[in-house]
């Protein structure tokens, strides 16, 4: 199975200068925990991602006011991305290795085309495979050998 068969097409995105409040509003509106960051809207070239955890760890936990920050201040870069024709099993392995729950899907120019999440995988893999993915992604980094 290919990623393009299960990905969410045309996900919400922001730019590095988008306010964190707007990023959080996108997360609420789209019921998601990650927003891809694109270089600019016309190119949609993915340069990073902002997760709900990025906002908490890189602003709130450090005593910074998230209402005064933009996506650039907290984004995770470079973004881990995959191609639409990537094999789903390989993407699952990537998610396990990198301990990530969502992966932006980009075309050969790096333009955002979709996003694949743990939930997408769960709907298309066996319970056993999904359970293994969740376990691997959730394992604390410090305990990994």
Q: Which domain holds residue 11?
A: 3-143
| CB atoms near residue 12 (< 10 Å) | 17
Q: How many whole angstroms from its chain centre is CA 126?
A: 22
Question: Given a cut of 80, is residue 143 above it in pLDDT?
Answer: no
pLDDT in tens, 30-42: 999 999 999 999 9
Q: What is the mean pLDDT of residues 9-22?
A: 97
137: domain CATH number is 3.10.580.10
> How many structural domains are present in the chain?
1
Residue 80 CB burial class (10 angstroms; 0-12, 13-18, ≥19): middle
pLDDT in tens, 42-56: 999 999 999 999 999
């Amino acid at each position: 199975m290919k990623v393009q068969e299960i990905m969410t097409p045309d996900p919400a995105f922001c730019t590095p200068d988008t306010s964190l409040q707007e990023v959080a509003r996108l997360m609420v509106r789209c019921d998601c925990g990650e927003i891809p960051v694109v270089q600019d809207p016309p190119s949609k070239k993915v340069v990073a991602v902002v997760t709900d955890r990025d906002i908490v760890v890189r602003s709130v936990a450090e005593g910074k006011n998230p209402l005064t920050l933009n996506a650039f201040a907290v984004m995770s870069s470079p973004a881990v991305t995959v191609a639409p024709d990537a094999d789903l099993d390989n993407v699952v392995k990537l998610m396990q290795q990198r301990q990530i729950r969502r992966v932006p899907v980009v075309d050969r120019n790096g333009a955002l085309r979709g996003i694949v999440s743990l939930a997408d995988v769960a709907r298309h893999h066996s319970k056993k495979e999904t359970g293994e993915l969740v376990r691997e992604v959730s394992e604390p980094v410090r305990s990994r050998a």
